[in-house]
Amino acid sequence: MACDLHVHSTASDGTVRPGRLAREARDVGLEAIALTDHDTTEGLKACAAGCRRHGLKFVPGIEISADPVLSADTAAPGTLHLLGLFVRAGHPRMHSIAERQTAARACRNAAIIERLQQLGVKTTLEQVLALARAEGTAAIGRPHIAAVLTEAGYTRSIQDAFTRYLGRGAAAYIRRDRMPAAEAIEAIHEAGGVALLAHPVQLGFADDAWVDHMVRKLTDLGLDGIETHHSDHTPTQCAAYEALAGRLGLLSSGGSDYHGSRKDVRLGAVRMPMAVLERLEAAARDGAKRGATGD
């Protein structure tokens, strides 16, 4: 049996309701899943209930968008996301993150729409919000804008929308204000979780030496592990990230990054042995004990 430790729901930008995910996971032969919605823990209660109904182990999680600039000499050209596994949904730091990141995303959406209109693309924020309401998704962002552009015929596909308008360096790209990595790691720890670097390939480095440098800097900030296995990773990259985790004494994790119909990635496409989950859970318990004793 195996687990998928990176899954999204309609509580952020997935298309499957939190309570429905467990049934899908059971149907594809998973024993456990982690719900890791973007910048929110809103769906954890419903997903946990679904897992209980279908006999699955549930891991409460979150995926936090962090600033890829750590210092003057350490900055990623791509994105930096941090997974928190075994976080407590009701913790004040999790609530604070959700409020802060939602406000930042709303500001960015409005700025992107304004830039698109300047480029002659006749789309509105109201169209984007209507699409999100129809899907039932709570975290509204670039994927929704991309869908609107594609439906209106401005782009051929979601990927084309990102390439032409929404991706880094594209015509309507707007950088979102993101949480410092140190603050995100601290919040995950305070909420009882372990902090993992999500999909390191998305840092955007062409040179593995820079990935090594970035991970070392994050480790100095308290990083606990690396998502070594991910749908975007090649077998060679998975092996390289596993080796990096081993060298630095970090935990390893993995998951599909399932978003329902929004991405062409199946739930359970990346499966980790249950022993990986057990090591992560033990690390979360040890961290909670250290926090309780002040060590």
Question: Looking at residue 193, which CATH number applies to its domain?
Answer: 3.20.20.140
Q: Give residue 132's pLDDT.
A: 87
Is 113 a domain residue? yes
Q: Look at the chain and count its residues.
A: 295
pLDDT at 35: 98
Residue 293 scores a pLDDT above 50: no
pLDDT at 175: 85
If asked whether residues 225 and 142 sit together in one domain, one would say no
pLDDT 10s digits, 110-126 = 999 999 999 999 999 99
How many domains does the chain fold into?
2
* 121 within a domain of the structure (yes/no): yes
Residue 264 CB-density burial (10 A; 0-12 exposed, 13-18 middle, 19+ buried): exposed
CA distance 194 to 85: 5
Partners of 59 in beta bridges = 34
Question: Mind listing the pLDDT tens digit for each residue in 139-184?
Answer: 788 989 999 999 999 999 999 999 999 998 899 999 887 899 999 9
Q: 56 and 159 share a domain?
A: no
Both 83 and 116 in one domain: the answer is no
Residues 19 and 46 sit within 8 Å (Cβ to Cβ) = yes
Q: What is the mean pLDDT of residues 123-134?
A: 92
> 28-74 pLDDT, tens per residue?
999 999 999 999 999 999 999 999 999 999 999 999 999 999 998 89
Residues 125 and 47 in one domain: no
Q: Is residue 171 part of a domain?
A: no
Looking at the whole model, is its pTM more than 0.75? yes
Same domain, 213 and 110: no
Q: Tell me which amino acid residue 192 is.
A: G
Describe the strand order of the beta sheet including 30-35 as a list of residue ranges. Answer: 251-255, 225-230, 194-197, 80-85, 57-66, 30-35, 2-7, 272-273
The residue among 146, 166, 186 that closes a domain is 166
* 128 within a domain of the structure (yes/no): yes
Q: What CATH number should be reported for the domain holding residue 131? A: 1.10.150.650
Residue 162's domain spans which residues? 102-166
Share of the chain above pLDDT 70, in %: 97
